Structure 1
Amino acid sequence: MDHQLIDNEEKKQYEFHIDDLIPRIEYIKAQGTIYLTHTEVPPELKGHGIGMELVRQALEDVKEKELTLVPLCPFVATFIARNPEWKSLVLKGVNIR
């Protein structure tokens, strides 16, 4: 997959534009910390790994911008639990299982 990640700061979300569909991860940024709050993939795109690719690219952006991550979204938290190389981005004291 080769989708272009867009950080839509106006809508406070990371997104892909795939045809007329917009899978997204909503966030809140405050004082060097980013809270990923909700991931949504349109039903037409489910089952194709779009959500996982969106999370991976969003985490790359978080890392690049040197933000501290708080994964409030269960989908993001599960992704990190299954890919522990991303745990270093998570705020100390936040438990990922």
Structure 2
Amino acid sequence: MTTDTQVRKDAARNRYELVQGGEVLGYAAYEAQGDTLDFTHTQVGEEHQGEGLGERLVRDALDDVRARGGKVVASCPFVDSFIRKHAEYGDLLA
């Protein structure tokens, strides 16, 4: 992963995207319910699986939700597992 890899919120598509050099490597889709985001699906391209990109994506997305003062619902099994493994994000659960 190079330094130009970033996570951005694409509110029009209801997802956070992990982008490198203009290419979307993965995304975390959500349904917005006021200030609460229900994360429903996380996907990283098959060619990039096992590189830790899913964790980077979810961590940055949750950090953004926290910075905005929001809460999350972890309907996505990957997001749910991430929060269970990283207790410091447990306070974000709605």
TM over 0.5: yes
TM-score (norm 2): 0.90
**1:22 Cα offset (Å):** 3.0
**Correspondence for 1:37 among 26, 37, 40:** 40
Q: Which has the higher strand share?
A: 2
Counterpart amino acid of residue 73 in structure 2 = V
Counterpart amino acid of residue 19 in structure 2 = H
**1:18 Cα offset (Å):** 2.6
**Deviation larger for 19-28 or 69-78:** 19-28
Q: Report if the CA contact (8 A) 2:17-2:24 is conserved.
A: no
CA distance in 2, matches of 1:33, 1:55: 15
CA distance in 2, matches of 1:22, 1:9: 17
**Residue matched to 1:95:** none
Equivalences, count: 91
**Residue matched to 2:20:** 18
**Residue matched to 1:57:** 60
**1:30 Cα offset (Å):** 1.4
Residue ranges of structure 1 left out of the alignment (5+ in a row): 92-97
Stretches (4+) displaced over 6 A: none
**Residue matched to 2:72:** 69
Residue ranges of structure 2 left out of the alignment (5+ in a row): none
**1:68 Cα offset (Å):** 1.3
Identity value in percent: 33
Q: Which has the higher helix share?
A: 2
